[in-house]
Structure 1
Amino acid sequence: MLGDAADLFRPSPGRRADGLLEMVGEAAGRAISWVLSRLLFGIHLLLVWTALRDSQRAEYLADELAARVAGTDGVRDLLDVLLSGDSVARVVRQAARTGGGPAVWRSGVASARTAAVARMPLVRQLSVRDAASLFASHPPAGLRHRMLTARTPQEPTVTLDDSRMERLDAELSRHFDRTARTVAWTG
């Protein structure tokens, strides 16, 4: 609302005034509108910045909660997958085009991640440099990874065995099929 109000009060291009009194009134109105517009915009930025910082703190808390459930290593692996989004998408797209199911997707992603192990510290650092912003809704994955590494490692409380994985794959098979059709020909 404050951003819209700031736009509303932003002075528009002036029209040519006919008399001195009209010119003075126009200039005073523009000055008051400009000050009011900047004031509202500043308050808007302050509120957005405050809300986004809260959002980033919530993201760190979510990572901590995820580490309690999946273990620290599992969450760090997930963050690395997010940082490798393009290569993961490429692997999944190729597997989907050849008719491979979720097991093939996981195998391909694991292979791509193994090939990228040596460069992941650099990718994490690059994410910190490129994605860090006071106005970002999420902290960079590199900082999230760093936070998890600095904390006491946690073991997973929930584990997924092969039989459970097969049941999940069977339950989600129609969604996998639809996603495979979508992913196969995008990008």
Structure 2
Amino acid sequence: MRTHAGETSNGDTRRGIVFATAYRSLAIWHYYLQPTEDPSPLEMVANLVYLVPRSLVLGMLMLLDQLTLRSMQRAEYLADSVAARAGSTEAAVAFLDRLLVADSADTTVWRESNKLRTRPRGTGRAEEWADGLWELLAAHMESIPEHEYERQRRVGARRGHSVDDTHPPTHLRRECLLVGAVMPAAVVTDDDREQRIAAELADARRQVARQIVRGD
């Protein structure tokens, strides 16, 4: 039987073709069985008729979530390990630390994009100013002091910070990396390669920044 790469490498059963197909089908049925907003009398009857099958489908989705949560979280730990082998333990841990301040990054992006959208006429198009959006964000992230990261680590451990309800707590992912052997980066770059990567991504960076500024 064919499987997705995520299942064969990290044991995530949710990515197997059988489970993924079943889960996707249930999700689609749940979408189509959603009650109609501001229903007409006939639609009110349909909403009542759909109540039982919708509840059954939702129950099946919740059951599948619970049955596969462990394997999915295990896959995330293994993915972190792969990231550490590729980019080094230090880089993988630093990335998890950045997740702790993601809200600050979001705030910075929207604040700067709002400033760019409201610039006075005559100072250039907002799209042109947007080209520097990522540099502003990078400067903000570099300005966050270490003691703020440490505070966020303590808060995250106390409150159980995670990317979403399917990911393990971020502080446990971090600890799992730190208790293992320290990995050097297996994939390294030089200045020339980094410049070529930056050139390849330049158009995409510009387009995304301008979409954010336009509010698309």
RMSD: 3.5
Q: 1:72 — aligned with what?
A: 89
In the alignment, is residue 62 of structure 1 matched against residue 79 of structure 2? yes
Higher-Rg structure is 1
Among residues 80, 86, 97, which one is paired with 2:103 in the alignment?
86
Matches within 5 A, 1:83-122: 83-92=100-109, 94=112, 97=116, 98=129, 99-100=131-132, 102=134, 104-105=135-136, 107-112=138-143, 115-122=144-151
Amino acid at match of 1:108: A
CA contact 1:79–1:141 (8 Å) conserved in 2: yes
Query: Shift in Å at residue 111 of structure 1?
Result: 2.0
Which structure has more RCO (C-alpha within 8 Å, separation ≥ 6)? 1
**Do the aligned residues in 2 keep the contact of 1:101 with 1:176 (CA within 8 Å)?**
no
| Contact persistence 1:67–1:74 (CA under 8 A) | yes
1:19 match: none
Post-superposition Cα deviations, 1:14-55, rounded to whole Å, max 9, x if no partner, equal xxxxxxxxxxxxxxxxxxxxxxx89x95x7655422211211
Which residue pairs with 1:184 in the alignment? 213
Structure 1, unaligned runs of 5 or more: 6-36
**Alpha-carbon separation, structure 2, partners of 1:109 and 1:75:** 20
Q: Residue type matched to 2:132 in 1?
A: G
- Matched residues in 1 for 2:64 and 2:70: separation? 10
Contact 1:69 1:157 in 2 (8 A): yes
Would the alpha carbon gap of residues 185 and 79 (structure 1) be closer, same or farther in structure 2, given more than 3 Å must change? Answer: farther
C-alpha displacement of 1:91:
4.4
Unpaired runs of at least 5, structure 2: 1-25, 31-54, 117-128
Give the whole-Å Cα distance in 2 for the aligned partners of 1:106 and 1:116.
15
Report how many residues are paired: 150
Shift of 1:92: 4.8
1:91–1:108 CA contact under 8 A, matched in 2: no
Q: CA offsets, 1:70-97, max 9 Å, x none?
A: 0000011111112111222344553894
**Distance across 2 between alignment mates of 1:161 and 1:106:** 24
- 2:200 aligned with 1:171, yes or no? yes
Q: CA deviation at 1:56?
A: 0.7
Residues 53 and 137 in structure 1, CA contact (< 8 A), matched pair in contact too: no
